[in-house]
Amino acid sequence: MADNATSQEILHGDYEDYPDFDDNVGLRNSMHMLSIAVYSIAFLLGLTGNGLVIFVTGFRMKRTVNTVWFLNLAIADFVFTFFIPLSVAYIGLGFHWPFGKALCKLNTAVAFLNMFASVFLLTIISMDRCVSVVCPVWAQNYRTPRLASLVSVGVWVAALALSSPYLAFRDTRSSSNEDNTTRCYNNFALSDDFESDEAVKLEQERHQAMVMTRFVAGFLVPFAIILFCYGIITARLKGSRLTRSSRPFKIMVAVVLAFFTCWFPYHVFSFLEMSVTTVTPWLETVLVVGIPLASGLAYLNSCLNPFLYVFVGQDFREKLRMSVLAAFENAFSETSGQGLTKSKSSLEVECYRV
């Protein structure tokens, strides 16, 4: 692979450094246009939808554990969508970055802050649901908005710690060609010497470490925990009416599935880019098409959740007849979830023993 064409740039559709991609100029330009369209849609829908969720959960609704979770998810997505125009401009300008080194670093760091915060919050919410089912009496006594807020702060600290390396590694570089463009790229070696063996080796080692850390901490372990939690929930409430009608349960399943669908292709292409040393013609086509699609899916995830909150759990037509604010309040209400604490008295006895 060419220098510095790293997997982090997949998130911004940046694969200009691959040397053989000139054979697919037409296809590449078409995918660039598709990326701009998808990013723009994600920005408009994400900013509006998540802004509305923040308004409703933060100012219109009673503070509950559920509203704390969904408020933090919306904040993560809102901050990410706020920076999307920078990526749109970057692609539209032919991968020229006129915004300076600070925004180059911040733009990428915010993207991964969103990814880590979202998946960590989904994991915590799944654990919260599991505890509510397995130990309902304990949950009723100790599951408080204050505790949820403290846990959310811990999630943000962990997400910030894992995304902070991009503040160091992201860098800008002016082109030596006549076009006088400036690139925003990953300088894992923290050096301007891209040819020395030491710099190349350091670049590869840090690149691999970042990809593995991101996959394990931001995808593999969280989803293993999520699947485990929902497996316990399903087993405990097997045959119960709550597993079929609980709106919070359905919403969270939909949100988790959406996150998996939107981010899994990104991780696939991260490993593909990291493991490939030679770009063959067939792989070139796969990267030209796949990288923008994986990037677009990751961006779209930031605007999906508000629509899932509204449309999951009741008939679509009924949702359309509801006012938007009432729909959000209904989606976030704990009324449906409270039924979990009233099911299966045997579980209550078990929790008293604990």
Q: For 304-323, how does the pLDDT look when each residue is reduced to its tens digit (9 = 90+)?
A: 887 777 666 554 445 545 65
Q: Are 13 and 89 in contact (CB under 8 A)?
A: no
Q: How far apart are CA 76 and CA 53, in angstroms?
A: 12
Chain-centroid distance of CA 139 in Å reads: 28
Of the candidates 351, 329, 330, the residue with the CA atom closest to the CA atom of residue 342: 351
Mean pLDDT of 274-297: 77
Q: Which range (13-17, 169-173, 193-197, 295-299) has the least confidence?
A: 13-17
Q: Say what the pLDDT of residue 166 is.
A: 92
325, pLDDT greater than 90: no
Mean pLDDT of 111-124: 92
Q: Say what the pLDDT of residue 270 is.
A: 83
- Burial class (CB within 10 angstroms; exposed 0-12, middle 13-18, buried 19+) of 126: buried
Q: What percent of the chain has pLDDT over 90?
A: 34
CB-side neighbour CA atoms (13 Å) of 47? 10
pLDDT digits (tens, 9 = 90+) for 9-38: 555 545 444 444 455 678 888 888 999 999
Q: Say what the pLDDT of residue 349 is.
A: 33
pLDDT digits (tens, 9 = 90+) for 134-166: 888 988 899 999 999 999 999 999 999 999 999
Measure the CA angle with vertex 82, ends 81 and 86; round to 5°.
Answer: 95
Q: Are 99 and 308 in contact (CB under 8 A)?
A: no
Q: Say what the pLDDT of residue 240 is.
A: 62
7-353 — its CATH code?
1.20.1070.10
Q: Say what the pLDDT of residue 24 is.
A: 67
Helix (H) or strand (E) holding 184: strand 182-186
* Sign (positive or negative) of CA dihedral 113, 119, 122, 126: negative
Q: Say what the pLDDT of residue 3 is.
A: 36
- Between helices 281-311 and 101-134, what is the axis angle to 10°? 50
Radius of gyration of the chain (CA): 22
Cα→Cα distances 274→13, 147, 245, 298, Å:
16, 40, 44, 19
pLDDT digits (tens, 9 = 90+) for 164-176: 999 999 999 987 6
Mean pLDDT of 327-350: 51
Q: Say what the pLDDT of residue 350 is.
A: 38
- Which residue is listed with tokens 């204050």? 146
Q: How far apart are CA 218 and CA 130, in angstroms?
A: 20
Q: How far apart are CA 42 and CA 40, in angstroms?
A: 5
Q: Are 133 and 51 in contact (CB under 8 A)?
A: no
pLDDT digits (tens, 9 = 90+) for 66-83: 889 989 999 999 999 999
pLDDT digits (tens, 9 = 90+) for 239-262: 565 554 566 667 777 888 888 898
Q: How far apart are CA 300 and CA 279, in angstroms?
A: 28
Domain boundaries defined on the chain = 7-353
